[in-house]
Structure 1
Amino acid sequence: MASFMHASRASVAIMRWLKGAIEAAPRGFLPEIYTRRTSFRDGFSCNSRVVSVPFRCSFQRVLVKCNHSLAKTVPYSDPPSSKDVNQLHEFIDRSRKLMVLTGAGISTESGIPDYRSPKGAYSTGFKPITHQQFVRSSNFRRRYWARSYAGWKKFIHSQPNTAHYALASLERVGRVNFMVTQNVDRLHHRAGSNPLELHGTVYEVICLDCGSSISRESFQEQLKAANPKWAAEIEKLDGGPTGSDENLGVQRPDADVEIDKKFWEEEFDIPDCQDCGGVLKPDVVFFGDNVPKERADKAIKGARECDAFLVLGSSVMTMSAFRLARAAHEANAPIAIVSIGDTRADDLASLKITARCGEILPRLLDVGCLAVPSASIS
């Protein structure tokens, strides 16, 4: 138990830093959940989270302070029971080639809304842009990029939450063999994971004609330079209301926010590709588009070769996601789902848990001893 005595000293320093971070920003950086090899008196070893019990209790109390800021994006769910935690722990512990599929529900606790939950974007009547609309209509492109410009600053300040960090911890010690995310927010990357981005990412912008790409941050500056008048007006909003419509200023899942039509119907200029003059588009798979074949094939291969398939925060409603669950099921891999609400893959699952990902995943690291493959332990 000496390791926990050493950990308590670290806990004090981490708590001081954490309190300052959360006081400075409601969704400030969460401390990384890290692992180390710990030896016990009875001779066996395991990978255990080096955070003392008092620290964990204090950590939960501090998080309560910022829960109010997430009330608009996180659907309600009862806390996971000990049975839920133990069942999920056993599901993961039995696997040696675990594949994980994550969806928007894992990022709601970072302040990014999902689509289909009771508090999701669809509940307010929101309709996401389709691939056909973006490609065929300059008016839809102006609408998208004006809204994206307005929401970008807020979006990039979203931080990974405890679910992202816990999953990254399991990945580092070899318990996650392959991870696929439907999310475009790159919060997994910032937590230390390296998932396959099934639907792309908003952090890159591509040309539909020549295929060249630039960073979204660079394109933000191009949009600002091309629209100084509207950029100044939009930046004054700072995420606040822009009219009588209660949905104005609301953050959407793909980095955009609701803004008044005046910001995009009149004279909002969209820069062309600097290489060929073509149309620029975020490197995401819009509704109505197809996942690139190479990416889809890699995801399907992982699903067919895994020995267990875990869904986290996804309704699995899109065909690109359901196809993966179906492939794993056909390969006789058991499926577990952690999500709030019904999913398209419920009938395929041997374990379904209704819970917030950020409330159950960190608790896995406190249960028993994960049988980490020896090759994964340094």
Structure 2
Amino acid sequence: MRVSVPTIPTRLASVPSGPTVSPAVAVERISSFLQHGNVCLLTGAGVSVDSGIRAYRGKDGRYMNPNYKPIFYHELVDGTEKGFAFRQRYWLRSYLGYPPVRDAQPNKTHYAIAALQHASIVPRLITQNVDGLHHKAIRSARSRSWMDEHMLELHGTLHKVHCNRGHLVDRETFQDWISAANPQWKAFVDDLERAGQQPRTNPDGDVAIEDVDYTTFNVPECPTCALEGYTNSVQKPALIFFGESIAKEVRDKSYADIEQCDRLFLVGTTLATFSAFRLLKHALELKKPTLMLNVGPTRADGLPGLEKLEIRSGEVMREIVRNVLGSQATEDPIIRDMLCSGIYMPPPDHIEDIVPQSGS
């Protein structure tokens, strides 16, 4: 299954959001839904907004602009000069946009979800996010092998890069390669950091910059390929691009997670990508109880069998965890610490795109 450019059907996008429920009503209903455990949780970009990462389809989101055109998978991996130009554009923008995602910290919702995971209420987590914040929230309590088994990054991760011959490298190393190959852009990033500024960054680390000569940007080549006698600049982050197929093992695991749970809880997602929407449809076909916590229209609005509550997750998730776990929320030191953790730093309502000076 290939990931296409996500959209919310026009009939939904033009419809005002439903009434927002009160925190007390939301806490009671969601607590009741979760209390028996064995819940699969599916999250989207809305979960990370309080960490400063703007959602694509939220207020001022990029996908709300009909003229926004992302780079497709076939364009990024094209071996011709045209493909190289796409990689110049992608990697310059991603080079600028990665640090804010890298440095983002989990918010209250991430830690509340981590507490539910640690308590085995939510044994399976599927996230559409590529920012790694769910992992940051629980990594002090769970091993990497546990996370690999119980947490699925449906669309991959921004924190690793691989070439088209399979050589994998961590993103920080790749950032260093870009810095070494483009000292003028490294100086620009350093100036931003000294000024306490950051570009307007999307959930996949992309930024919008205008009036820039992308042809001057040097895309690093894969050094392992070079050792093997190949010149290869076809490298991409380990996330799923539009037009790219989700790996069979990821798809199969996502279906298995739905099948093995008793109910499905969806948080902070419009389900605009079919890769996520089909998981909800699968749960409904299996007659699993489903509950959504999201603000604004979604692709699933009006589906029979889906219950939806409109309220921000950050307003209610901590109290929900306390309700569900009872005395464990105060007696378990790990959970107690999680429920006292989490930032609240949503993106400003308006932020101008940072435009480099001519010659940058």
- TM-score tier, shorter chain, comes to 0.7 to 0.9
Match of 1:100 in 2: 41
SS in 2 for 1:309: strand
* Matches for 1:103-252 after TM superposition, within 5 Å: 103-124=44-65, 125-136=67-78, 137-192=83-138, 194=147, 195-208=151-164, 210-238=165-193, 249-252=199-202
Identity of aligned residues (%): 36
Aligned match of 2:318 in 354, 359, 362? Answer: 362
C-alpha displacement of 1:239:
10
Q: Distance in 2 between matches of 1:241 and 1:163?
A: 26
Q: Distance in 2 between matches of 1:113 and 1:221?
A: 25
Q: Point out the more displaced range, 114-123 or 322-331.
A: 114-123
SS in 1 for 2:162: strand
C-alpha displacement of 1:349:
4.3
Q: TM-score, normalised by structure 1?
A: 0.71
SS in 1 for 2:246: coil
C-alpha displacement of 1:317:
1.5
1:367–1:212 distance in 2 versus 1, CA, 3 Å: same
Q: Distance in 1 between matches of 2:196 and 2:68?
A: 16
> Does the 8 A contact of 1:337 with 1:349 survive in 2?
no
Match of 1:24 in 2: none
Unaligned runs of 5+ in 1: 1-74, 243-247
SS in 2 for 1:122: helix
Match of 1:272 in 2: 221
C-alpha displacement of 1:287:
1.3
Q: Distance in 2 between matches of 1:215 and 1:326?
A: 35
SS in 2 for 1:299: helix
Cα distance per residue 1:54-82 (max 9 Å; x no partner): xxxxxxxxxxxxxxxxxxxxx9x957431
Cα distance per residue 1:314-371 (max 9 Å; x no partner): 1111111011111111111111001111222231444211111111211202336559
RMSD: 2.9
Cα distance per residue 1:264-290 (max 9 Å; x no partner): 523211111112233110000011211
SS in 1 for 2:71: coil
- Length, aligned pairs only: 293
Q: Distance in 2 between matches of 1:275 and 1:290?
A: 25
Q: Distance in 1 between matches of 2:25 and 2:134?
A: 27
C-alpha displacement of 1:249:
3.1
1:291–1:235 distance in 2 versus 1, CA, 3 Å: same
Aligned match of 2:307 in 333, 345, 351? Answer: 351
Q: Distance in 2 between matches of 1:368 and 1:218?
A: 42
> Does the 8 A contact of 2:23 with 2:315 survive in 1?
no
Cα distance per residue 1:210-235 (max 9 Å; x no partner): 21100000000000111112322343
1:108–1:239 distance in 2 versus 1, CA, 3 Å: farther
Q: Distance in 1 between matches of 2:327 and 2:286?
A: 24
Match of 1:299 in 2: 254
> Does the 8 A contact of 1:205 with 1:219 survive in 2?
yes
C-alpha displacement of 1:92:
0.6
> Does the 8 A contact of 2:77 with 2:235 survive in 1?
no
Q: Distance in 1 between matches of 2:101 and 2:126?
A: 21
* Matches for 1:308-327 after TM superposition, within 5 Å: 308-327=263-282
Q: Distance in 2 between matches of 1:229 and 1:189?
A: 33
1:314–1:239 distance in 2 versus 1, CA, 3 Å: farther
Q: Which runs of 4+ in 1 moved over 6 A?
A: 239-242
Q: Distance in 2 between matches of 1:305 and 1:167?
A: 19
Q: Distance in 1 between matches of 2:42 and 2:324?
A: 24
Q: Distance in 2 between matches of 1:118 and 1:363?
A: 26
Q: TM-score, normalised by structure 2?
A: 0.75
Q: Distance in 1 between matches of 2:215 and 2:106?
A: 36
Structure showing greater relative contact order (alpha-carbon pairs closer than 8 Å, 6 or more residues apart): 2
> Does the 8 A contact of 2:265 with 2:291 survive in 1?
yes
Q: Point out the more displaced range, 227-236 or 327-336.
A: 227-236
Task: State the one-letter code of the partner of 1:321.
Answer: A
Match of 1:71 in 2: none
C-alpha displacement of 1:134:
1.3
Unaligned runs of 5+ in 2: 1-16, 140-146, 226-230, 335-360
C-alpha displacement of 1:187:
0.3
Cα distance per residue 1:27-57 (max 9 Å; x no partner): xxxxxxxxxxxxxxxxxxxxxxxxxxxxxxx
1:79–1:87 distance in 2 versus 1, CA, 3 Å: closer
Task: State the one-letter code of the partner of 1:249.
Answer: P
C-alpha displacement of 1:236:
2.4
